[in-house]
Structure 1
Amino acid sequence: MIRFGIIGTNWITEDLIKAARGIEDFALTAVYSRTEAAGQQFANKYDIPHCFTDLETFANSQELDAVYIASPNSLHAEQAILLMNHGKHVLCEKPMASNVREVDRMFETAKRNGVLLMEAMKSTLTPNFQAIKDNLHKIGTVRRYFASYCQYSSRYDEYLKGNILNAFKPEFSNGALMDLGVYCIYPLVVLFGQPEQIQGSGLILESGVDGQGSILLNYKEMDAVVQYSKISDSYTSAEIHGEKGTIVFDKISRPDKVEIRYRGGGIEEITKPQMDNAMYYEVQEFIHLIQNGFTESSVNSRINSRTTMAIMDEVRKQIGLVYPADRA
């Protein structure tokens, strides 16, 4: 049984709890919140026995073995490093940090303390993403990867009224690239590694974060096209184009339906059964790694998390998107 603590009392944390409680070896024992009222309310809702408002006390607690971090992006590195220095394993919500410098510090801390640090990128651990990997050879030489995640944010309505919420504040290392673009980039990196060239463009809002953007990434024999937005919607599929056919999947953030469309006209369904809540698989992977003494995932690995963040750093540099965390 792995005893978990939780940082963050938002909807994504609630989704993770619902998914994780379907795993036999998951136990939720503690929650950290800045305020007693919010923390206790969350603890009561999910029958969590211990509530903390002091992060140091939380990190030092003997009531937990691992922590899921779902705080604002700008707090991930500081919180994860404190927890790992107290011997806690960390499952950190994407994006793992504000920049690659912070990612390096986090993994160095994990290595020094002999604990597991894993980015909570749910899509790459699903059965249907594994189906994509397993069947990639069928489409021949890959020539293009295309991924789109454009989802109009309800918080943008508030933004237009002059009420700037955290999702659009640079001090929290937020914006379209970090929130949605990462879902397009991480699977690309897992499948094809580091690109040779990166060309990014984006729209910077008056608050100082990006509302949307596009990236062209060049590899030796292929290219990748990525688009993302928090200020408009898109309904296009994700695709991987090969010389013999194309793999088409419905959602880059959680592929539920996957098929190969061959050049000759045939269609092969390669969809696998999977849980409705894809966060189940990231928790399952994380617990399996701890129980078997591993300090790194082979899929959501250090190199994949670092490469993804390095790509986002370069895109931000090109479009002029700077966070306070970059100057720290």
Structure 2
Amino acid sequence: MIRYATIGTNFVVNWFLEAAKKCEGLHYCAAYSRNVEKAREYAAQWGADRYTDSLTELAEAEDVDAVYIASPNSLHFEQAALMLTHGKHVLCEKTVTSNRRELERLLGIADEKGLVFMEAMRSAFIPAFGLIGDNLNKLGTIRRVSLQYAKYSSRYDKFRAGVVENAFDPRFSNGALMDIGVYCVHMLVKLFGRPERVTADAVFLENGVDGAGTILASYKGMQAELLYSKITTNRCPCQIQGEEATMVIEGDLTNPSRIVIWYRNGEEEILTPEGREDTMLPEVREWLRLMEGGETAATHNQFSLMEMEVMDEARRQMGIVYPADREELWKRY
């Protein structure tokens, strides 16, 4: 039995806990929040054995084997490093760290300690993603990829009213790229590998945060465009265009409703993903499998490393620098 704790009390943690309930090998041991009253209420609501507002206490707890982290992006590195150095497995929400150097250091610690560290990129584990990858060979030579994820954020209304929450605050390593564009980047590198070069641009809001952006990724014989936004909503499906057929990915990029392959002769093939009702469960099951089997998450982490490399370069071109980049937190561990 893997005894786990959670860091964070937002709706994403709720999703995680719902999924964890369906995994017999997991037991909810402790809930953490910097607000002790919120931690107490959350532990009572979800049935945790106890609660705490001390990260040090959580890291040193002998009855905690693993930790799920869903705090603001800028806090991921230090919280994960603290847990890993104290022998805890870690599942860390996307975007996993503020930059690639932080991720490399965390993976180094995990390797030294023989622990599982993995990015919680739920869209990479759902059945729909497997359908996409398994059917790419039907398209022939792939020439163009268009991945779009634009979703008007409910927090943007507050932003327009003068209330800046974490999602629109670059101090927390946040913005459209880190919050929503990361899904496009991760899917791209997992399907097609590291691009030869990227070109990036962004739309900035009054406080300097990126509200939307575009990344053009170049491969030998293929181009990919990534369009993402937190201030508009897209209605066009994603496409992967090959010389023999085009794959159209309908619905939300993180949870496609249908995949249609249109062949050059006019025929179509419809693929309907299963398990759309619980997108968090597959990644939680994989995390548990790796921990129980004494394995590493290297197979998955290679794509997180590529993801961070692409995003670091995109941010460099867009002029997006976070406090975490200047502070070089990775040097502390």
Following TM superposition, where does structure 1 have runs of at least 4 consecutive aligned residues deviating by more than 4 angstroms? none
Residue by residue over 1:123-171, the C-alpha shift from the partner in whole angstroms, topping out at 9 and shown as x without a partner, is 1111111111111111111111111111111111111111111111111
Match of 1:143? 143
Q: Aligned equivalents of 1:239 and 1:28: distance in 2?
A: 40
2:278 matches 1:277: yes
Q: Aligned equivalents of 1:8 and 1:32: distance in 2?
A: 6
Whether the 8 Å contact between 1:30 and 1:63 is mirrored in structure 2 is no
- For residue 269 of structure 1, report the CA deviation from its aligned partner: 1.8
Distance change (3 Å), C-alpha of 1:297 and 1:254: farther
- For residue 26 of structure 1, report the CA deviation from its aligned partner: 2.1
SS at match of 2:255: coil
Distance change (3 Å), C-alpha of 1:297 and 1:282: farther
Question: Which one-letter code corresponds to 1:61 in the other structure?
Answer: A
Match of 1:129? 129
SS at match of 1:34: coil
Match of 1:207? 207
| RMSD of aligned Cα (Å) | 1.1
Residue by residue over 1:275-306, the C-alpha shift from the partner in whole angstroms, topping out at 9 and shown as x without a partner, is 412000110111011111111152xx222111
Unaligned runs of 5+ in 2: 328-333
Match of 1:268? 269
Of 253-262 and 217-226, the range deviating more from structure 2? 253-262
Question: Which one-letter code corresponds to 1:282 in the other structure?
Answer: E
Residue by residue over 1:76-113, the C-alpha shift from the partner in whole angstroms, topping out at 9 and shown as x without a partner, is 01000110111111000000001111111111111111
Match of 1:327? 326
SS at match of 1:273: coil
Residue by residue over 1:47-88, the C-alpha shift from the partner in whole angstroms, topping out at 9 and shown as x without a partner, is 111101110110111222111100000000100011011111
Match of 1:175? 175
Match of 1:314? 313
Question: Which one-letter code corresponds to 1:186 in the other structure?
Answer: H
- For residue 182 of structure 1, report the CA deviation from its aligned partner: 0.3
Question: Which one-letter code corresponds to 1:273 in the other structure?
Answer: E
Q: Aligned equivalents of 1:225 and 1:253: distance in 2?
A: 17
Question: Which one-letter code corresponds to 2:141 in the other structure?
Answer: T
Q: Aligned equivalents of 1:297 and 1:270: distance in 2?
A: 30
SS at match of 2:234: coil
Q: Aligned equivalents of 1:27 and 1:261: distance in 2?
A: 46
Q: Aligned equivalents of 2:179 and 2:227: distance in 1?
A: 12
- For residue 27 of structure 1, report the CA deviation from its aligned partner: 1.6
Q: Aligned equivalents of 1:297 and 1:10: distance in 2?
A: 28
Q: Aligned equivalents of 1:166 and 1:283: distance in 2?
A: 25
Question: Which one-letter code corresponds to 1:196 in the other structure?
Answer: E
Q: How does 1:1-328 map to 2 (within 5 A)?
A: 1-250=1-250, 251-298=252-299, 301-328=300-327
SS at match of 1:62: coil
Of 15-24 and 147-156, the range deviating more from structure 2? 15-24
Whether the 8 Å contact between 1:122 and 1:254 is mirrored in structure 2 is no
Whether the 8 Å contact between 1:259 and 1:269 is mirrored in structure 2 is yes
Unaligned runs of 5+ in 1: none
Residue by residue over 1:170-194, the C-alpha shift from the partner in whole angstroms, topping out at 9 and shown as x without a partner, is 1100000000000101011011110
Whether the 8 Å contact between 2:255 and 2:276 is mirrored in structure 1 is no
- For residue 272 of structure 1, report the CA deviation from its aligned partner: 3.4
Whether the 8 Å contact between 1:289 and 1:297 is mirrored in structure 2 is no
- For residue 227 of structure 1, report the CA deviation from its aligned partner: 0.5
Question: Which one-letter code corresponds to 1:89 in the other structure?
Answer: H
Q: Aligned equivalents of 1:176 and 1:217: distance in 2?
A: 18
TM-score, normalised on structure 2? 0.95
Question: Which one-letter code corresponds to 1:75 in the other structure?
Answer: L
Q: Aligned equivalents of 1:307 and 1:103: distance in 2?
A: 11
TM-score, normalised on structure 1? 0.97
- For residue 270 of structure 1, report the CA deviation from its aligned partner: 2.3
Question: Which one-letter code corresponds to 2:230 in the other structure?
Answer: K
Q: Aligned equivalents of 2:262 and 2:59: distance in 1?
A: 50
Percent identical pairs in the alignment equals: 45
Q: Aligned equivalents of 1:207 and 1:113: distance in 2?
A: 41
Question: Which one-letter code corresponds to 2:105 in the other structure?
Answer: R
Q: Aligned equivalents of 2:113 and 2:169: distance in 1?
A: 33
Q: Aligned equivalents of 1:68 and 1:16: distance in 2?
A: 8
